[in-house]
Chain A
Amino acid sequence: MSEEAVDHGISRRGLLKLGGATAGAMAVGGALAACGSDDKATTAVVVRDSAAAGNEAGSSDVDLRSIARGKSVGVIVLNAAAVTQGRGVKELNRIAKTTGWNIDVFDAANDLNKVPGSINDFVTKGVDVIMPLVVPGVVLGDALKPAEKAGIPVIGVFTGPAPGMKARVEPSEFISEAKIGQYVLERMDFEGEIALLNWEKIPPLIQRGAQIRTMIKQFPAIRIVEDLTVEVPQIEDSKAKVSAFLPKHKNLKAIWCGWDEPAFGSNQALKEAGRDDIFVVGCDGNLETFDAIRNGEPLAATAANDIELMTRIAVRISDDVMAGRQYPVVTTVDSPFVSRENVPEKGQYAQGVVTPFWTGS
């Protein structure tokens, strides 16, 4: 794991470091040790107080030991029961225990219309920072403005940009998908038939779709023979759709899925049909996906979002913002490419790599 110092304020160097860090991460991907918790002194990075605020590029953890005590966070999620969001909330609660921070979670229950009200309520309550978690920024619009007006910083985790957000921490879907796409292209030998399953109605999935399509377009020998939209229920629907089209395509080589659930469904369909000559890729890094990868099933690869790390970074940035220090406006946490070679142990998540883009205040 290359540990390179980041000289904040110089964005171009940061970008170069990004390239280096990414390549490094991929190269050493196989060497990633499985770990889900961050209680390992070897990966902890001590931040230099005088210089960088924000996290160092290439690091896979952030130090929270020196953050201020007793702050309060208002978290907004769309569905606390969803895997990704649940992981984030859990991590926040864990952090809260050691730092004395108070975490309040507002579960919008899939109703975006409740978000403006929750912002106002958090303002009334007087929280120190508001943290939307996996709430798509593109549909927040003006909803965050009241927080801005009240001087409460909004730090988005896995949200995408939105007006009024002071900083955000998220993976780059393009980068995640570039890694997966590379794997797909190589494994297909740059030619053959591929099927796409996606739901291109929200920005992350639109971006993933755009990335894979662009990559495929470079190689005319690769033909997209199926281009389907997944409906709810995701796993059952993708399984049904795949089972339906399999007989039509004797030469199908790969099934690309925009995220892990349809990849899982496709995996089931392939297993039942006995087509182990076809491989499936997803994206997100669910535990079920890791299980399938570990067992050598058709589901072969994914990019693992390290929500826990993102959340910790968000907490760190919140602390910096509140203290008036400088902080990175965008921090990208690379989601490591996960395949059989580096899949984590059962029950563990994969660890991400930090890449801050530029600083500001």
Chain B
Amino acid sequence: MTTGATAGDPVTSPDRAAAPPEEGGAARARPGGHRVRALMSRYGTIIFVLGVMAYFSLSAEHFLAAGNFKNIAVAVAPLAVLAAGLTVCLVAGDFDLSIANNAILAAVVAAKVGVENDTVLWAFAAGIATAVAVGFVNGLVVTKLGVNPFIATLAMGLFILQGLGFVLSDTGTISSGMPEGFNSLGNDSFLGIRLLLWVAVGVLAVLWAVLNHTELGRRMDAVGGNPSASRLAGIRLDRTRIAAFTISGLCAGITGILIASEFNLANANGQGTLLLDAFTAAFIGSATLSAGRFHIVGTAFGALVLGMLTNGMTLVGVSSDYQSIYKGAILIGAVAFAALGRERR
């Protein structure tokens, strides 16, 4: 699926007597600054973000430090995993609105299994397995029952999964009797780098490889780009979409485990703003380095941008009244910068 205008988009605005098909392999451009515009479209977001970082560096003495950047990365590690799974879904042309609640359910399952059986590894496995199953079911509902993915995953996430989380956790929280070592993944480090970060980078790397270098990734790319043409080219749409949802579920499961381990408890009400943040990260990513297409590197960048904004504003001491306003404005600015570089239609 793509955002924004892409070359070859046949539906146009009313007053445009649209152009005949192109000849030659050149990008469309206006005179003077064709190159600048192309650069803006690819790097505009990055440039804008660098500008914001410069401001933070100058206004807060602790911002520009390796330790601080590590903190930023660690803070958004769970989000990055969640958003990466979502990205896979978006590439295949679908929406998954159940990811946040799926992650929380995975956390609840892991905590419950962990407490009742005094195990860590099986607890994590149970949590992740639950989330994968949810993703798979989402895929089935969307392909075999033909339900609109927006509705299907919304209903699944907001209602079914949320409810399940409360039922399983009884009071809403599972925090006492957590098994020894449950919080290791979320709090310990390896070679000086938090395990959270290792996992996030690992997941991102694997998904990047899947999307860009495997058959499955290619199929998802095609289905997202043109389902009808893909079908006629022999791609099995259903299988590909189910795979996308399952991967999204898997990432949600991993995210849930990371969060549960970090806090050393499961909170059935803990989805916070994860859903919206994941989408934001993916969309920022689509405005970076690519012409409106979703991709893993961009999503990782988007997650880091979100983390950096929160961190920067805390260090600078921006009043909490204004924080969300500034955040929104900066996000719009970053994406708009890239949009300026794209051909105005």
A residues lining the B interface (CB < 8 Å)? 77, 80, 89, 102, 104-114, 116-118, 120-122, 124-126, 138-143, 145, 200-202, 206
Contacts and interface: CB of A to CB of B under 8 A. Distances in A.
B318 to A, nearest CB: 9
Contact of A138 (B62, B175, B183): B175
Interface stretch (B2-10, B84-92, B136-144, B263-271): B263-271
B267 A112 contact: yes
A109 B273 contact: yes
A179 to B, nearest CB: 25
A107 B172 contact: no
Given A105-B320, A117-B75, A122 B314 contact: yes
A120 B74 contact: yes
Interface in B262-285: 262-265, 267-270, 272-274, 277
Contact of A201 (B60, B172, B259, B317): B172
A145 B187 contact: yes
B210 interface: no
Given A139-B267, A142-B263, A202-B172, A117 B273 contact: no
Given A113-B272, A201-B166, A143 B267 contact: no
29 contacts: A89-B320, A105-B320, A106-B314, A107-B324, A111-B274, A113-B78, A113-B259, A114-B272, A117-B71, A117-B72, A118-B310, A121-B314, A122-B314, A124-B62, A124-B71, A124-B315, A125-B60, A125-B315, A139-B173, A139-B263, A139-B265, A139-B269, A141-B264, A142-B186, A142-B262, A142-B265, A201-B269, A202-B172, A206-B171
A120 B72 CA distance: 9
A106 to B, nearest CB: 6
Contact of B263 (A106, A107, A140): A140
A138 B171 CA distance: 11
A208 to B, nearest CB: 14
A144 B306 CA distance: 22
Nearest to B273: A111
B224 interface: no
A104 B60 CA distance: 13
B311 interface: yes
Contacts of A108: 272
A154 to B, nearest CB: 15
Interface of B: 60, 62, 65, 67-68, 71-72, 74-76, 78-79, 166, 171-173, 175, 183, 186-187, 259, 262-265, 267-270, 272-274, 277, 307, 310-311, 314-315, 317, 319-321, 323-324
Contacts of B71: 117, 120-121, 124
B88 to A, nearest CB: 21
A122 B317 CA distance: 10
A140 B266 CA distance: 10
A109 B264 contact: no
Given A112-B270, A141-B265, A105 B319 contact: yes
Q: Which 3 A-B pairs have the closest CB atoms?
A: A111-B272, A117-B75, A141-B263
B307 to A, nearest CB: 7
A112 B187 CA distance: 16
A250 B105 CA distance: 42
B186 to A, nearest CB: 7
A142 B258 CA distance: 13
Contacts of B270: 112-113, 139
Nearest to B276: A111
Contacts of B76: 117
B253 to A, nearest CB: 16
Nearest to B76: A117
Contacts of A126: 62
A89 B65 CA distance: 30
A89 B320 CA distance: 10
A143 B262 contact: yes
A206 B60 CA distance: 42
Contacts of B67: 124
Given A118-B314, A120-B71, A142 B267 contact: no
A104 B267 contact: no
Contacts of B60: 125
A89 B319 CA distance: 11
Contacts of A202: 172, 269
A242 B314 CA distance: 43
